[in-house]
Amino acid sequence: MKATIKNQPREAKITHFFEIGPRIQSLTFSSLAAHQTLATFTKRLKEKVGGKCRLSAFPQRIYTQNSWKVHITGELGELHLLLNISGRMQLPDLDSHWAARLNIELSDHVDAFWFVKYLMWSLKAEWAVPEILDSVFKEGISYDN
């Protein structure tokens, strides 16, 4: 399914941001428009959070909806992103109002993974491990079923 990214010319249709095959060396942007769109978007995020960024991200499943929760903190503030795996592409409009959580529509988990990696690279962010992981991975998981 094709979707027009907000703030892009009507003819700029992007179905996904990244192309990658079975080898990491094949990773590339799907198009020049995809690269420019992501560069502009992450520039706005950097203006909002400032430098010394930390980023955490994890996939989640709520009933049948798959998404990724992303949290970015910096010198100037923090951002919460929800990457919805919806089969289409749409970035939020950042012209005036910044919502408490930015909802981003992505085509699949491949784009979500590389989107997070691109955010880390472009924001020069450190990986922040969510505290809950220590208790889950070290102490084990409680199985209720």
**What are the sequence ranges of the domains in the chain?**
27-127
Tokens of 136: 């889950």
- Chain segment 72-82, per-residue pLDDT in tens: 999 999 999 99
Q: Residue 120: what pLDDT?
A: 96
Q: Residue 143: what pLDDT?
A: 58
Q: Residue 7: what pLDDT?
A: 53
Closest C-alpha among 11, 138, 123, 8 to residue 57: 123
Q: How far apart are CA 118 and CA 27, in angstroms?
A: 12
Q: Residue 134: what pLDDT?
A: 67
pTM > 0.95: no
Burial of 98 (0-12, 13-18, 19+ CB in 10 A): middle
Tokens of 132: 């809950």
Low-confidence ranges of the chain (pLDDT < 50): 1-5, 8-11
